Amino acid sequence: MAGRARRSVEVRREEILTTTVELLDKLGLASTRVADVAVALDVSPALVFYHFGTKDDLVAEAFAHAVERDLRRLERAANGTDPVDRLRRVLRLYGPTGRATGWRIWIDAWAVAQRDPNIRKVLKRLDHQWQDILRSVVDDGVASGDFTCPDPEATVARLSALVDGLSVAAVVHRTVTREQLRNWVAAQLAVELGVDVETLG
């Protein structure tokens, strides 16, 4: 009986996070209210507060929930023995794809993080996770001799900045297509890692 009760609480928590992510994408991090989440789920705001304590905690956890799904896919793509193939798979997934829900929320979080320490802390942790995934692929490629890279840390930092900037241009300004984003990132990585850009296509 107690086991079933605990599972029910977990399922409700997952439902709240999923619904909050949808609202964050639609309304933005700053504008989404606990009342909006409660209405969307047809529950009382008290139930939402029971699970998350405060609106800030709810928004921070929902933001992490959205981005961590993308990071889990990247981690799976980064598995394998061939560094070039692993890098190719990571590049296909990273950056705006599909509806780009995670990226819209991520970009919104950059603005909110300037004033919200909760979001800033989550954003920093998630950014480190992404960079760690890419860094592991680069390090393995350097160790195997597939990549030539004198400073993997700087390469990963430059690539992250490039993808972030191009993603804003693709998702917000729409001055860059997603195909251009992928091609330009691959071209820069080819230079950084000493590989033929055709191998990353």
What's residue 96's pLDDT? 77
Whether residue 3 has pLDDT greater than 80: no
Write down the pTM of the prediction: 0.85
Structure tokens at 189: 């990585």
Q: What is the mean pLDDT of residues 82-90?
A: 93
Kindly state the tokens that stand for 66: 């959205």
Map 121-185 to HEC letters: HHHHHHHHHHHHHHHHHHHHHHHHCCCCCCCHHHHHHHHHHHHHHHHHHHHHHCCCCHHHHHHHH
**pLDDT reported for residue 7:** 46
- Averaged pLDDT, 17-43: 95
pLDDT (mean) for 164-186: 92
> How many beta carbons lie within 10 A of that of residue 177, not counting itself?
11
Identify which of 63, 72, 160, 65 has the alpha carbon closest to the alpha carbon of residue 118.
63
pLDDT one-digit tens code per residue, 93-122: 887 765 567 788 999 999 999 999 999 999
User: Does residue 2 surpass a pLDDT of 60?
Assistant: no
